[in-house]
Amino acid sequence: MFLANIEFSTMVQMLYSKKPKAQIIMSDFLIGLVIFLVVIALATSVWGKNIYNMGLKEKRSEMETLVLLISDQLVKSSGIPEDWNSTNIAAIGLAESDNVLSPAKVSNFINLENEKTKNLLGIRNYNFIFRLRNMSENILVEYGNIPVNEKESVIIRRIVLYQGRPAIMDFGLWT
């Protein structure tokens, strides 16, 4: 038994002494390299997708803020000057009083050039839609471009008085 142990330990020493040190098999290296490259490619893809989604969320948030601010300006302000027209306008406002739209100002508004309107509202990079409908959903006034892709648009709906009757005002932005 002791002799068998000596022979076994001698064989183990022989195996270790014959094995070359600090060498790797080429196939192991290639497999490791492929796995590493796949992991890097996946990480880069996920990173890029997250950056893209963050950009979309930021843009959507900006559009939501602009739509809210502009719709407030339209329904709560009479504009600058108060009796503005297409030649003397400094700021657009459609209200006679809070949430009561002036038919004359709405008419002046829809007769403005599209680019001038976008400049006055501060939305040069966006398209917009302004729509007034009665409570039966019939369109009374429409100005601007209708969104092509609803996913990239933000539209706010407000209840206002127009021509002495309740109406629905839609204002929206889209890219």
Question: In this predicted model, what pLDDT tens digit does every residue of 49-75 receive, in sequence order?
Answer: 988 888 888 888 999 999 999 999 999
pLDDT of amino acid 20: 55
* Phi, psi values for residue 74, rounded to 5°: -65, -40
Question: In this predicted model, what pLDDT tens digit does every residue of 99-123 receive, in sequence order?
Answer: 999 999 999 999 999 999 999 999 9
pLDDT of amino acid 145: 82
Sequence-ordered strand ranges (E) for 49-164: 95-97, 100-101, 127-134, 139-144, 153-162
- Could you state, in order of their start, the residue ranges of all structural domains in the chain? 34-174
Question: In this predicted model, what pLDDT tens digit does every residue of 88-102 receive, in sequence order?
Answer: 999 999 999 999 999
Distance in Å from the first CA to the final CA of the chain: 87
Which residues pair with residue 133 across a beta bridge?
A: 139, 168
Question: In this predicted model, what pLDDT tens digit does every residue of 4-32 receive, in sequence order?
Answer: 555 666 665 665 555 555 556 778 888 88
Residue 125 CA, chain-centre distance (Å), reads: 13
